Structure 1
């Protein structure tokens, strides 16, 4: 059942990425998808806000690819992206613990 789910999810991902790349992606849409601000978008992609500010209004394919990759990393599990499921699980446990600690859930 898990294998069928992963195959279906991969097929959906490939179709979605193909459709996204076939359309012209505007920088304003990329900014919205990546967090709504130039700083959030740049951080998601792994560049400085100054570099992101220099991107053109209509993104060429190579920049649109970077946006799609950042979205995939943000919204898809490591298993779907070809990562180690054990590493992904350990990372999720760490994130859950950090969230609990920052929210004060362990304090009386």
Structure 2
């Protein structure tokens, strides 16, 4: 496994339930700023039985990147909603915990 891949997977595996990260931010935290597309490629090519929380990776506008008419979109949306995210269209809003913290 390459260093890039192992670093991305390590950081993603540590991301707690209810939190999301952008492709670019994940690349940056892994030590590879500017590798957002490569992170997307890794997420897209995960084995179907992967235990990594791939669904917590979204784009920089906090949007689901899959087209809305795909199974992958609905799978990611369902997983995020089950962790407390509110999704309007394809954009994540603050989850209930975050909304309480802001008050």
TM-score band by shorter chain is under 0.3
Structure with the higher fraction of residues in helix conformation: 1
Larger Rg: 1
Structure with the higher fraction of residues in strand conformation: 2
